[in-house]
Amino acid sequence: MDKESRAAPIRIRGLRKRWLLNTLLPVLLAVVMVVGVFAAGISDYYYNGMRSDMESKASNGAEVFNTIAMTSYNAYYQMASAYVEEFEEKDWLELQFITSSGRVLVSSYSRLTAGLRVDTADVSAALGQGETGAYKGRDPITGQTILSVCAPLTFEGRVVGAIRYVSATNDVDRKILFNVLAVTGIALLCLLLVYFTSIVFINSVVEPVAEVTQTAKRISGGSYGIQLENHYSDELAELVDAVNDMSEKIKQAEQIKNEFISSVSHELRTPLTAINGWGETLLAEVDSGGDPEQLRRGLGILLKENRRLTGMVEELLDFSKMEDGRFILHVEQVDLQAEFEDAVYTYRELFRQERIELRYDDGGTILPPVSGDPERLKQVFCNVLDNAAKHGGAGGRIEAAVSVQGDQAVLTVRDHGPGIPAEELPFVKQKFYKGSSKARGSGIGLAVCEEIVQLHNGSFHIANAEGGGAIVTICLPLR
């Protein structure tokens, strides 16, 4: 990778922001839900345990009082005072005895609450409904947050008072808060861990993608062939390889295109120059009553160059149709062998004039009619024979043959020229490719031939033959 690409600014904020948002937001919501559920659960656990313990104490105390006959208010007061004096948990729990009117008769914290009226929900349930009640909230007397449980005391079937246990919730609240803070701290640590691991992962993915993006922009700007250093070993390595391969192929395509334009310009200029020159010559000959032989020769050259131009234009038109999907076949029953032999006999005389021998071997085979486009198939055969003469005519001999292999007709054209360089062989059928060949042509004839054969569900192969020269093999289905 060159210095320019290293110095290019990397813009990845948008992708990083979306990635973090999509990653951290669900985790954050999950953490909040977990902490909320834990806080509710731990609060219920502590308060339910505390209330159950106080309800048990209240029920036991009420049972004791309800089994002892209370004949008067004084007896009730004396028994309550004695019970309070013997109460051993007064350091954290307040014990109260409530009169039927709702006032505190006796309390383990007598100096603070004795004689005061209490109207909380637990007292109302015990005195009004004769049921054990519980209350959690602010104490109207002290202003503290408390949890209280009140059980009714009965005499001869009527409620005469209540026993009430009261506890401040400060210690329980501290324990709940400590547990919630601990879980919240652990959740935040997990969230931070997710954040930093996400940052590391994002940087390891997004920055290379941004680097590839910058390189792709440079390629689209015309810097064909630039390569990225590939020091990855995962999917990013495949991405970098794909971009490098794309860059190299675009470079090759650009080179081929430029060579094609240069080649076509030259190919068009040569016959046009000949036509122009001979046109002027023939015009001068006609004006001066020139030699008929000279006129005949000039007209022949004009026709030959015109055919060359026509062939090139037809190739270009076929290629254009092939590129935009307008290349179609007019299918009918075709005598494939007759079309091939017709092309061979047509070129045999032309090749003889160039001192090239064209041999044909039908192998005693008679091919059945097949479905195909006779004009297009004839175009393929003529193009292959013409290429064999242009590129392998130096060998002085071209061999054409027909055979049947399984359910396929196999047609071969072999020349005895220098063959195709091994490094160029994989590319000879690519459009515009001419390689090191100096022969005339646009470089798209073989690409058009392959397209025609493939549209006939056949195959088109070019290889170097044993003993020298190149061989073209055309396989077409007989069914």
CATH of the domain at 463: 3.30.565.10
Q: What is the pLDDT at residue 473?
A: 95
Average pLDDT over residues 372-399: 87
- Bridge partners (DSSP) listed for residue 471: 414, 463
Nearest to 19 by CA among 173, 162, 195: 195
Of 321, 352, 379, which residue sits at a domain end?
Answer: 321
Of 321, 355, 387, which residue sits at a domain end?
Answer: 321
- What DSSP designation does 367 have? P
Q: Give per-residue pLDDT as tens, 156-187.
A: 778 888 999 999 888 888 999 999 999 999 98
Indicate the residue type of 377.
Answer: L
399 and 341 in one domain?
A: yes
121 and 144 in one domain?
A: yes
Q: For position 285, which CATH number holds?
A: 1.10.287.130
349 and 304 in one domain?
A: no
458 and 354 in one domain?
A: yes
Task: Look up the domain containing 390 and give its range.
Answer: 332-477
How many structural domains comprise the chain? 3
Element spanning 107, H or E: strand 104-107
- At 158 the three-state DSSP class reads strand
Q: Give per-residue pLDDT as tens, 322-364.
A: 666 667 788 899 999 999 999 899 888 888 888 899 999 988 8
* pLDDT > 70? residue 1: no
Q: Give per-residue pLDDT as tens, 66-94.
A: 777 566 677 778 888 888 888 888 888 88
Average pLDDT over residues 407-421: 91
- Are 397 and 356 contacting, i.e. CB atoms less than 8 angstroms apart? yes
Average pLDDT over residues 100-105: 87
142 and 76 in one domain?
A: yes
Report yes or no on 226 lying in a domain: no
341 and 295 in one domain?
A: no
- Bridge partners (DSSP) listed for residue 370: 334
242 and 388 in one domain?
A: no
Q: Give per-residue pLDDT as tens, 200-252.
A: 877 777 777 777 878 888 877 777 777 877 777 777 778 888 888 888 888 87
- Are 66 and 154 contacting, i.e. CB atoms less than 8 angstroms apart? yes
339 and 281 in one domain?
A: no
